[in-house]
Amino acid sequence: MGKIKIFAPNTVSNVGCGYDVLGFPLEGLGDEVLVSEREDSNLVIKDISGADLPINSEKNVATVAVQALLSASGVNRGFNISIQKGIPPGSGLGSSACSSVGAVFAVNELLDRPFTKKELVAFAMEGERSSSGQAHADNVAPSMLGGFTVIRSYDPLDVFNVPFPSELLAVVIYPQVEVTTKYAKKILPKEISLKDGVQQWGNMAGLISGLMSNDFDRIGRSLQDSVAEPVRKTLIPHYDEAKNTALEHGAIGFNISGSGPTSFALTSDAETAESIKKACSSIYEKNGIEVLSFISKINPEGAHII
């Protein structure tokens, strides 16, 4: 019986102006997903470590995503799935996406790769639908594919990567408070003004251009969000103070990762990154809030066998 272990990285999504259409994966932080074949056709979550999550196959994102793959392929096979979580849900770092991505990537390998990595994104999105109520791809696509990933369209699904500066670093600041994706989506405005839309579209174009041309000044000017940040920052303690502090310490830009409460800063210099990490972490520590902070390069590989 076949068995395989996959690493699926956590992600920063939205990246400021790219609400639901832009994301990148982190290095060294993610889920390890062990999948083995069964003699029957059942999908079974054997165990989950690092988070308290449902093991019911109809409710767990990993088995929901795998069932979508099996249904599309017409295969009636069973698998055991064990998940070691890198980050718990409610972080803003694509926790549910990691499990979905790791599981469908593993099963696809055990089935001798009937689908490409890009095709697997659609199945992993079904895990996101079961978790948040919406099949968004800004976490699963970068976790699966690696690199800066753009979702040009959802219907039909059209995903592609853009080049980015190899020296780019993300400083991740994760205060230990929970913000659920469902609630963070619920509070967003259903409509935006034309003025905000024009600003957002210009920033998205500027960010993509800056990434492709290694123009850090343009990246910084474009890392603005007129849609989600003004609302979601109210859910994150000391957000404005952390953002101002990061920019004062040389960050190219600063914004919310996904739904929050995690925020991130971008920089191209390791010394600057350490300074930002230390200064922003101290804000939470002095206010009695536990914080996880780390520095990561942009993961170019995405999901892979370990």
Catalytic residues, which ones?
Answer: 128, 181
Distance CA 14, CA 255 (A): 9
Angstrom distances, CA of residue 265 to CA of 95, 246, 272, 278: 19, 7, 10, 12
Strands 169-175 and 263-267: antiparallel
Distance CA 300, CA 27 (A): 9
Buried b (16+ CB within 10 A) or exposed e, 249-261: bebbbbbbbbbbb
Distance CA 215, CA 17 (A): 17
Distance CA 257, CA 263 (A): 5
